[in-house]
Structure 1
Amino acid sequence: MQTNLSEHAKRLPRADEAERILRSCVHCGFCNATCPTYQVLGDELDGPRGRIYLIKQALEGGDISESTQAHLDRCLTCRNCETTCPSGVQYHNLLDIGRAYVEARVPRSLGERVLREGLRRIVPNPTLFTTLLRTGQAFRPLLPEALKAKLPRAVKSARSRPQTDHPRRVLMLEGCVQPGLSPNTNAATARVLDRLGIAVTPAREAGCCGAVDYHLNAQDAGLERARRNIDAWWPAIEAGAEAIVQTASGCGAFVKDYGHLLASDPAYAAKAARVSALAKDLVEVLRAEPLERLGAHGDLRLAFHCPCTLQHAQKLGGAVEDVLRRLGFHLTEVPDAHLCCGSAGTYSITQPELSRQLRDNKLNALESGHPDVIATANIGCQTHLDGAGRTPVRHWIELVDEAMG
């Protein structure tokens, strides 16, 4: 694709990257075939190819409007298009650049500004989020249905974490909302790793991975959170921690991108690259271990929802399913398993109608094999799918932990 960036766009910090990505697109349209929003809306501008044209138009000095912003907002950033693309177009990086450029030129309504600022203040703050969550649960009968659906049906209390020490040690990102919505997930992870002879080193100073800010177009704030996490992890990395484990695939996808996003920061580029190299989804650690040591006997009939951030961003589609089968779980077939559930971080709040439609489509596919439980690997997907009040949805590591007895 030929490009002719405006003089203003050429001065952007990531101008060369944007131009390189635009030129790699051959506008074949294969991406539209697997784009969830294009499938639902049928509008070329709500598919990856159309959004690429909109970003190109903006960066070349063309008209930018609220309509431009709306089409970019409706993208889930599921990266299904990247899995499909025969040319290797790094669409998500171009989208980040385009969204930031449009955000600076199209004022949002007061309601949208309040919503987005509220999400940025609440979601990355575990203490505040958990307090509001408990308040919501206490007054659940009085809440409107839309808000009830955002609350978990039940919060499973965290069992104790092992206190044993091992020569092998890993760090674990605790997450923002997971400690409130599913506090037993990280505790279950620590217990499973302990049985495999791996200890979890706490890093209390580490906080939100930065994805919430970054994907709400507060990109500088998101990168500052990334720097703080690198500083919090660095002493343990220097002491020999072999991995930084994420139990939420959305966080993992973003941490693995630290090296790219901070490549131009002379103070953090090398450290960020090291952190990204050490970042591993939990399944990457477990699949390499002798799982028979767990003594697990899984007998549940499961449907596994592979989050977009696991299969399309981290390229780990099928990995969790393989581990679960090795442990004896029976997995049902899931049609269109590549499609997004509609959670997509804060998308279920900023785009509720589209999100619900995608969720219901995904649940219909997941339930087609009549599973006892739906398992997943990301707290956002877990809460979003479970909010429909249908088949229970849980993190897969909790099921493994319970199967150990």
Structure 2
Amino acid sequence: MLKVSHLERTYPAQPGGAAVQALKSVSLSVEQGDIFSLLGPSGCGKTTMLQCIAGLETPDAGRIVIGGETVYSRDERIHLPANERGLGMVFQSYAIWPHMSVAENVAFPLLQRGRNPGREQIARRVDDALAMVELAGYGNRSATQLSGGQQQRIALARALVHKPRLLLLDEPLSNLDAKLRDTMRIELRRLIKSIGITAIFVTHDQVEAMGMSDRVALMRAGKVIQVGTSKEIYLNPHSAFAADFMGSGNLVACTISDVDNDRAVTTTPFGQIQAKVAAGLRAGDDAILVIRPNAPIIHTQPVDAQGDLAQIPGNVSSVTFLGEKIEVRVCLSGGYDFVVTMNTFEAPVEGQKVYLTLPAERCIVVHKDHPVSSAARSVDLEGLAA
């Protein structure tokens, strides 16, 4: 449905500054009917990518193909205007006009596309779009009478009323409160899937990306560094950055002692630990061992650790109640702080000695780089630069 090849975009230098290369030969493809997320921190290039697809930004090089039609190619000198690309877009601010009724907001694209279908057909298509987002009967209301969630739906109805071949969403949930955001994430995915339209979803929130997407492109510094399903990237990140950004985790500097197929033996401050291994790593490499907070199993007594099961003793330094889960911080040898999550009915107490068992299939060794998240980590990450 969408294919982007070697896309580049550089913003010229401003007075006193340097040029900014927002996209660095980015390539990706999106299948028909997929919800595909562009995920990454601020400044990684995801919004620039979306705007280039929409025709709101002009790339410096590369090619964009939508539904088999080339809409941009530097080499072929093709640049289709935004209004001719057959796209719908939901902006971060929703861009709902307060002086218009709900129906007038939704009808706006039909009146501006230069092919006015007539009053009766416009009314019918507006009604269909409102029904699609479960707002039938709201057409005569003022846009200012809508809640945040309703405005989000109106913006979606307006993006869909002209039956676009591709839907673009630029952080459409960021203006909602936390509870409504969770509800609308589920509702938005259901609506998009029920329509069967292909969608590109931009977000910096990994929970949104995991909850919304069929596939995710994780971006960093103008490049796509990993593409896959949310589960694939979460459980099998390629690098420390991917592991750190795609969910919380304990990141431990280690050295690979041995590699056998997809398993590695690592030497860490806590002894040798077996784990899955990312492609390209070899014995002798310095790397990062990633252990998700829900991976360790806490025991109050030593267990018989055999095979690929590691066991690490420690002391509980804090227990934090977070509702559906409890966060336990365990102080390991050398003063390292390890974060473990548990269900709310099995928590140890502060000061208690515990033993963490680590099944190899729950841990993974990845390439080291600079993680950028401010999330808590179990070890001092100084020296992680490749």
- TM-score tier, shorter chain, comes to under 0.3
TM-score by length of 1: 0.22
Compare the two structures and name the one with the higher strand fraction. Answer: 2
**Could you say which structure has the larger radius of gyration?**
2
